[in-house]
């Protein structure tokens, strides 16, 4: 096809199409890129930056007034009219609940998880079952489950929220329900033995420890996915979660995949390169790996590094859209 054939238009055909709501595919750019394209960029949010900011928000507004006292981690590639997002499909945020506070019950179609960063005595209720929150614990609040947060301890509770909110927005499937004020106090019945919605840190840490002497995965070193206790599949239909141990001195190989990932540093420190950019990280930091961006991780220290992560992999798997490839390490 020559340039002339794209501009040749003696009858003004192209100018007549727009007002009639047509567009010729042969003049479109980007409808079928050779590889995934995203406006999202690799980014890291430092805990020593966000912690003082969310504590400042603690003086500005109560958890109850705010509904949720949450600072979203907004990818610099997010367009101004779009809802905040860490990647195209994933929401990540830091939430603060102060001693004695309540974040009232509500429910919504976006699915959520919480990974506890600091504090003792906080809890989340899921459909009126109470789950206590300790650092390193993972708590799930699936699609349309009632949930609230409370705090009977003495020090601030901070955690990472992960939701499929941008995906739900893209699909225009967001519903939410906020009951009348008198029905919104958290219920206090203790969680049943099945603990369908909680994964204690101690158990995951022990599981990683038991696998310490295995060869490890070239891209992830020692990684354990959190599995739904009944299906043995991903914890929720739209979000999978994992915790990984990067053993001292480990440097993983580089790869890329169509699912996007939010990583959160649960312990230790190290660095990752994402799209050729190097990010140094330490406990509490959170970073985003957008779809199809090459990345690798390293722990150059003498101690263990633990990364919690969540991704949209179950969505892509279900739709036949999962792709993965190794990347030349000389380039990345």
Residues that bind ligand GTQ (CB under 6 A): 68, 70, 93, 95, 112, 147, 161, 163
- Give me the long-range contacts of 46-49 (CB less than 8 A, separation at least 24): 46/284, 46/285, 47/117, 47/265, 47/282, 47/283, 47/284, 47/285, 47/286, 48/284
Q: How far is the CB of 188 from ligand GTQ (least distance, A)?
A: 18
Q: How far is the CB of 128 from ligand GTQ (least distance, A)?
A: 15
Q: Which is nearer to ligand GTQ, 148 or 272 (CB)?
A: 148
**CA 254, CA 252: separation in Å to the nearest integer?**
7
Q: How far is the CB of 86 from ligand GTQ (least distance, A)?
A: 11
Q: How far is the CB of 201 from ligand GTQ (least distance, A)?
A: 19
Q: What is the dihedral of CA 232, 112, 255, 322, to 10 degrees?
A: 60
Q: Which is nearer to ligand GTQ, 146 or 287 (CB)?
A: 146
**CA 157, CA 207: separation in Å to the nearest integer?**
26
Q: How far is the CB of 161 from ligand GTQ (least distance, A)?
A: 3
Q: Which is nearer to ligand GTQ, 126 or 315 (CB)?
A: 126
Burial of 215 (0-12, 13-18, 19+ CB in 10 A): exposed
Q: Which is nearer to ligand GTQ, 161 or 304 (CB)?
A: 161
Q: How far is the CB of 110 from ligand GTQ (least distance, A)?
A: 7
By beta carbon distance, the residue nearest ligand GTQ is 161
Q: Name the strand (E) or helix (H) holding 239.
A: none
Buried b (16+ CB within 10 A) or exposed e, 228-244: eeeeeebbbbbbbbbbb
Return phi, psi of residue 311, to 5°. Answer: -150, 170
Q: Which is nearer to ligand GTQ, 145 or 196 (CB)?
A: 145
Q: Which is nearer to ligand GTQ, 93 or 289 (CB)?
A: 93
Token output for 303 = 């101690």
Q: How far is the CB of 112 from ligand GTQ (least distance, A)?
A: 6
Q: Which is nearer to ligand GTQ, 161 or 220 (CB)?
A: 161
Q: Name the strand (E) or helix (H) holding 167.
A: helix 165-170
**CA 162, CA 261: separation in Å to the nearest integer?**
11
């Amino acid at each position: 096809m020559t340039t002339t054939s794209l501009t040749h238009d003696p009858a003004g055909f192209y100018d007549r199409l727009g007002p009639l709501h047509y567009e010729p595919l042969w003049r479109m750019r980007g409808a079928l890129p050779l590889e995934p394209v995203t406006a999202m960029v690799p980014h890291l949010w430092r805990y020593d930056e966000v912690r003082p900011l969310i504590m400042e928000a603690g003086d500005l507004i109560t958890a109850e007034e705010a509904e949720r006292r949450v600072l979203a981690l907004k990818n610099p590639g997010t367009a101004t009219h779009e809802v905040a997002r860490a990647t195209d499909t994933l929401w990540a945020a830091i939430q603060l609940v102060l001693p004695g506070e309540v974040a009232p019950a509500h429910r919504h179609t976006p699915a959520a998880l919480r990974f506890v960063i600091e504090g003792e005595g906080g809890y989340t209720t899921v459909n009126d079952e109470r789950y206590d929150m300790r650092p390193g614990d993972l708590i799930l609040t699936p699609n349309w489950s009632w949930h609230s947060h409370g705090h009977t301890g003495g020090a601030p509770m901070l955690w990472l929220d992960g939701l499929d909110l941008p995906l739900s927005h893209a699909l225009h499937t967001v519903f939410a329900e906020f009951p009348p004020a008198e029905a919104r106090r958290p219920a206090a019945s203790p969680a049943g033995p099945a603990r369908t919605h909680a994964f204690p840190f101690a158990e995951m840490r022990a599981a990683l420890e038991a696998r310490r002497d295995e060869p490890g995965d070239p891209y992830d070193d020692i990684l354990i996915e959190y599995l739904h206790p009944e299906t043995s599949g991903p914890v929720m239909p739209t979000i999978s979660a994992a915790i990984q141990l990067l053993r001292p001195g480990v440097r993983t190989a580089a790869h890329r995949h169509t699912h996007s990932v939010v990583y959160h540093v649960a312990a230790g420190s190290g660095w990752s390169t994402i799209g050729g950019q190097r990010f140094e990280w330490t406990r509490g930091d959170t970073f985003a790996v957008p779809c199809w961006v090459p990345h690798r991780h390293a722990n150059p220290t003498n101690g263990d590094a633990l990364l919690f992560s969540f991704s949209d992999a179950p969505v892509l798997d279900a739709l036949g859209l999962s792709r993965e490839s190794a990347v030349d390490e000389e380039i990345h």
